[in-house]
Structure 1
Amino acid sequence: MDERTRADVERAEAAIVEHYPRLVRLAYLVLPPSMGRHRRVLTAHGLVQRALPWTGPRRPDGALPAQRGPSGEDSYELVRLRTLRLALSYEGRSGRPPTRLLPSVPVVWGLRLFPLAGGADELALDRALSAVGSPVRAAVGLWHLEGLDEETARAVLEEAGVVGADAAQREAELLDRDTGAGAAALLNSGEFDPCTVQTRPTDLLRRRQRTRVSLVAGAVLALVAVVAGLPGGDAAPPATAAHGQPVAAARQALDPDRLLHTPNDQWADTSRVDFTAWPARGRQAGDKELLARALRVWAAPPADARITASADTSTRPPDHPPRLLYAGLIDNVMVVVFHDGERLVRYAEPEEATPTLHFARVDDTDVTTGAALVIGRGNGWMRYLVAPWVSDTTTRDLLAPDAPARGLHLAPDGVTDRVPTPPAAGAGCGRWPVVQLRSSARIVENHAFLLTDLGDLAPVHLTYLPPPSAGEPPRAPREATGTPALLSWARTACSLRALRGTGVRSVNNWAFAEQRLPEDAGLATWVCTRADTWSGPGRVTVELQPPAAHRADPGRIAGRAAGGAACSRFGHQVVGELRWQAPSGKWYLLAAGSRAVEGIEVTGGVRAATGDATLAVRAGRQAPAEVTGRLPGGGSVRAIRP
């Protein structure tokens, strides 16, 4: 507790009143985004109000007078420091206040408060800030909201208790570069202003229901003595106002007693190894009240519920009883996961916050694509719930292909420890965490495979297809756990950021050709990366991976295509072309085709032809050219271009 004179406290109070919006904006920025905007608004106001120091003990008679207290400027620095310390203490606690703080938070009954909505730039900055830790957000706030230079900001961070202030500022500099030069203006916009808010009501039906329950409970207690001796009868449950009079099928879908439960060991004795083979897990799997509440919110979400759906995924209410996969507490958030045959539905009930629903399409899964789901997320981390047939869980960094996999602890209910999330688009790409799982020998398919997170409930399966070998028939993609596969993915992983949130099911790296570069520049590999979505269409990226100084140096993008069957098992004929500069400074047109390509022809501003599957010809950097591959039987295939 600060020992301050009465005058000191009065000056601190004046500083808070004068700079209140400024302090609250800084606190709101530093607090974890996982708290939700309503809770962050209230907590930011509460922390600033609690930043007022206490008066010290009364001076005994005869004691010397205290030294002169801080000036007005010093008073502001004091309350800013106290605000920072309080806001930073929420890091890693899922928005729950540390017990030693017990901050008083303003109470708002019946309303949800949200800062004004911003545009695309504000949203992009908010997402980037959500992907970093609170010390980094504090550094950004001290720079752009407080106008401090790096040296002064570092001193404030260290005084606020930040360990590694230099590292936080370096990460803040990277975030600044990635988000552009307008961060200061964006942070001062309405999107980040917790003092200018819009209001929405909470769940009116739930509030009315709770009020009625309280009144009925009081009446029942008052009449217990009177009716104790009377014969009782079961009353039929009234239809809720939220659902009106649902049809019989819909009513059954909302009955927690009708939820489907798979026997614990069925996965080891079935020909269908997917989400239908998952047993119900979690400590609250038998909590009928929680399950009923989750089903009701799914069927009729309240107005302030947050609903997220993966690409091409329906959010329709349940029309039949779904299968229960999990119900339990994950990082202070009550979570329930259902599977209705084609979708995963994750219901999350944060304490003192609005419920959330996340839908993800997962039809036609298998041992790998049905091996895990994202059960919880936080600031820069996530947890998986893994299938019962997973016998071993590890993690690895795709950008460090030579590093061994590290063990990942798995709780008895199938929930992993926290795993770092891959970087978002616009952020730096210094690492790419993946999980490496191994299926049990009890289902025969005893093999390891890689899964990565791209922002959806269902993780993405990564595979690899090596370069063609002479005399060997074409092969199907294999698991990306061997050395060649890991080396290939080390140079491709960061490109996965562009696929975040697009409903991707699996991504395959196909090394479709190898080519000797001109001027003895070494052996390059042509790679076609195909991302298949749950809805069917895929995205294709063709790149050239020349010799590199570092394992994780990215290749050069040669072309992209959306839709179609290119680089899939139904599109084995592919050609790539790229302008490449040799060490001498000369420019070449490089082209290569897959196994079925018997020759390559270049027309337009550059003319060349070869009977091989690779071609290199001197060409100007901007000279127009059309590259075509010849196929057996007289057919042709055009090169995939940017």
Structure 2
Amino acid sequence: MSTSQRFGPTGVERAEAALVEQYPRLVRLAYLTLPDSLVRHTRVLLAHKAVQRALPRSGTPAGPAPAEGGPDRPDPHLTLVRARVLRATLTPSGPPGTLRGRIARPPVPPFVWGLRLWPPAGGIDEAARTLSGVPAPVRAAFVLHHLDDLPEHELVRLLGRAGAADPAGALHEALALPVGKELLEALRRPEFDASVVSARPTDLLRRRRRARACGAGLATLALALTALCVHGSRPAPDVRPAAGPAVSTALDPARLQRVPAEAWADTARVDFTAWPARGGRTGDRDLLARALGTWAAPGRTPVATAPATTAQPPAQPPQLLYAGELDGRAMVLMRDGDRVVRYGESATGTTGGSRTLDVTRTDDAGVTTAAALTLSRTPDGTSARYLLAPWIATTATRDLLRAGDTGHPLAVAADGVTAPAAVPPAGGSCTSWPVLELTSSTRIVEKHSFVLTDLGALSPVHLTYTPLPDGPGAVPARQPREVTAPEARTAWARLACRLGDLRGGAYRAVNVWDFAAAELPDGAGRAVWSCTRASGWAGPGDVAVRLRLASGTPRDVAKARSTAACGRFGQHLLAGLRWRSPAGRWYLLAAGSRQVAAITATGAVRAATSDRTLTAPWSGPDGPVSLVATLAGGGTVTALDGAGGGRD
């Protein structure tokens, strides 16, 4: 096809054949390229919508597609469809009437009534979380190169045609993503398919009432229009949107979803979906109406949203988690898909500046990450009350800075609300770090205790610990453990105050991974290399590598944001730093994770070792050092941060 040609009936048929044949791949491309701030239900529908609307019409300009012919040339019809999909998903907004403008509207068609859709657990959504936080063109380049096997020159050309500002730069960033071989192999498995979705009903019996509600709404609308036509010259009455039957069912307090009190003990999905509606004002229709109305139209009400979270109103009736009164405030908690919303007002229901609205993400929450929500805080921020999951049997508080602290029982009311509990300091000196230690009911799991910490967000953060590899060599990976054993408590006691650096982020869990240990020169004792990973609800994680010495404050080695390092898909790690011994001598210290078989240093220091740790005198001048590790299974890995302090 030349640039002067337009699609004829035959070209459209060929484009349709290419679209149908490659439909799962195109949906995967669209899903992973769309903004990660979208909830999964919307993202799935928009991905299918982008692909289905990518089919050109007869008479559409063919554009600069590759010429026909040649065994190594890509299918020009598939190239055109890909370009149209990318054009719609790289920038999902635009002028009305354009493809980008149309796809930014609510996700119809296809029409999906009474269902919430999302990719199955362990499928394409895991890849989306891994790439979350990465710019859309880079995500598109990652999919096209690693999963669709598109040559680099064709990839750059395709991104440019789709409107990407810097196609070559996007490809370069995609190639530099720290994605391991395991993830790439997993992404090619059939379950990593965005066109395969899970579905659950949203309203069941309430759905049959919609026809009557819609009919009544249309009748009211017709009467209102008639009245306007007859009395158009009269002043318009003050009609509130919440007063008529045409109000959206999603904002009707009577249609809020309520889960039975014992549902959590008889389900395989122990998360926020199993929380019953609790609190003394769950029947207060006026309070619930104000909460829903404020969510739909906040006006002057301050709205706090966690990073990568939207405050858009619900498309279906949300689930009621709590409605009650605490310390002079009325509080309402609701869940909408992957979001939890907290509404607060003065207990008297007055307006003014007393209303607040907070929204957070809760993607794939589970037994631990759906175990508590923050209901209220004291004005000085020193204590908070929490609403605990119905499966929590016992609750205690302890100081994370003191490894030997055995904990102190925390009173919990019958509706799951805790007594005020001290929270970690927001600034100043760090003399204590209060945490919650919760134990699940034996009705769902045996003797499972875990630790949560408050970082100022609506959802407390789950703390875990991964111990040192068990023995030398490429031993199997060890899994994160709860911070209840002495070894885990000791490790966290040295690092607890560093949690203050994570305030303000949307984190679901923080894990400390001790990946290497070595004896330091000049009698400095044993040091442990650890990587602290704060995993966000949206997928990306922030990491910090530190060296814990025998005494004193842990030494910062390297930091990185929005990375897979130190997680399930980033298990290969290398780090190093310039260190001064108690004797005043300078050394290069480096360490790698369990699969590292050798380390080589070049630059200001030249050294090598066939071990997972390296210690070499730094006798020359200051300067950059490059570290490269060889893996036992083949391949290499560079340092997360160079020994001279600069990123390799």
Specify every segment of 5 or more residues in structure 1 that has no aligned partner in the other structure, as ranges: 1-237
Checking the alignment, whether the CA contact within 8 Å between 2:574 and 2:591 is kept in structure 1 is yes
Cα distance, 1:535 vs structure 2: 0.6
Identity %, equivalent residues: 50
Checking the alignment, whether the CA contact within 8 Å between 1:243 and 1:300 is kept in structure 2 is no
Q: Specify which of 329, 332, 339 is matched with residue 336 of structure 1.
A: 332
Distance 2:284 2:243 in 1: 25
Checking the alignment, whether the CA contact within 8 Å between 1:453 and 1:460 is kept in structure 2 is yes
Q: Specify which of 235, 246, 254 is matched with residue 251 of structure 2.
A: 254
Distance 2:569 2:479 in 1: 11
Counterparts of 1:480-519 in structure 2, within 5 Å, are: 480-519=483-522
Give the match's secondary structure for 1:491. Answer: helix
Specify every segment of 5 or more residues in structure 2 that has no aligned partner in the other structure, as ranges: 1-236
Give the match's secondary structure for 1:441. Answer: coil
- Residue in 2 that maps onto 1:606: 605
The letter of the residue matching 1:274 is: D
- Residue in 1 that maps onto 2:322: 326
Checking the alignment, whether the CA contact within 8 Å between 1:242 and 1:300 is kept in structure 2 is no
- Residue in 2 that maps onto 1:282: 279
Distance 2:431 2:508 in 1: 24
Q: What CA deviation, in whole Å up to 9, does each residue of 1:534-581 have, x standing for no partner? A: 111111100000101xxxx53111001112311111111101212221
The letter of the residue matching 1:513 is: A
Q: What CA deviation, in whole Å up to 9, does each residue of 1:35-84 have, x standing for no partner? A: xxxxxxxxxxxxxxxxxxxxxxxxxxxxxxxxxxxxxxxxxxxxxxxxxx
Counterparts of 1:61-460 in structure 2, within 5 Å, are: 240-242=239-241, 251-303=248-300, 305-350=301-346, 353-378=353-378, 379=380, 380-424=382-426, 426-460=427-461
Q: What CA deviation, in whole Å up to 9, does each residue of 1:200-221 have, x standing for no partner? A: xxxxxxxxxxxxxxxxxxxxxx
- Does 1:468 find its partner at 2:464? no
Give the match's secondary structure for 1:497. Answer: helix
The letter of the residue matching 1:597 is: V
Checking the alignment, whether the CA contact within 8 Å between 1:512 and 1:527 is kept in structure 2 is yes
Cα distance, 1:244 vs structure 2: 9.7
TM-score when normalising by structure 2: 0.59
Distance 1:270 1:547 in 2: 47
Cα distance, 1:445 vs structure 2: 4.9
The letter of the residue matching 1:291 is: L
Give the match's secondary structure for 1:442. Answer: coil
Distance 1:506 1:584 in 2: 39
- Does 1:543 find its partner at 2:546? yes
Distance 2:525 2:372 in 1: 41
Checking the alignment, whether the CA contact within 8 Å between 1:285 and 1:326 is kept in structure 2 is yes
Give the match's secondary structure for 1:626. Answer: strand
Give the match's secondary structure for 1:487. Answer: helix
- Residue in 1 that maps onto 2:87: none
Distance 2:488 2:327 in 1: 35
TM-score when normalising by structure 1: 0.60
Cα distance, 1:516 vs structure 2: 0.8
CA 1:340–1:239 in 2, change beyond 3 Å: closer, same or farther? farther
Give the match's secondary structure for 1:290. Answer: helix
- Residue in 2 that maps onto 1:69: none
Distance 2:510 2:461 in 1: 7
Distance 1:395 1:487 in 2: 17
Give the match's secondary structure for 2:294. Answer: helix
Query: Which one has the largest radius of gyration?
Result: 1
Which 4+ residue blocks in structure 1 deviate beyond 4 angstroms? Answer: 242-246
- Residue in 2 that maps onto 1:72: none
Checking the alignment, whether the CA contact within 8 Å between 2:363 and 2:538 is kept in structure 1 is no
Checking the alignment, whether the CA contact within 8 Å between 1:282 and 1:413 is kept in structure 2 is yes
- Residue in 2 that maps onto 1:530: 533
Distance 1:535 1:470 in 2: 35
Give the match's secondary structure for 1:492. Answer: helix
- Residue in 1 that maps onto 2:626: 626
CA 1:240–1:519 in 2, change beyond 3 Å: closer, same or farther? farther
Cα distance, 1:517 vs structure 2: 0.6
Give the match's secondary structure for 2:430. Answer: coil
Checking the alignment, whether the CA contact within 8 Å between 2:438 and 2:451 is kept in structure 1 is yes
Checking the alignment, whether the CA contact within 8 Å between 1:628 and 1:637 is kept in structure 2 is yes
Checking the alignment, whether the CA contact within 8 Å between 2:310 and 2:359 is kept in structure 1 is yes
Cα distance, 1:446 vs structure 2: 3.5
The letter of the residue matching 2:554 is: G
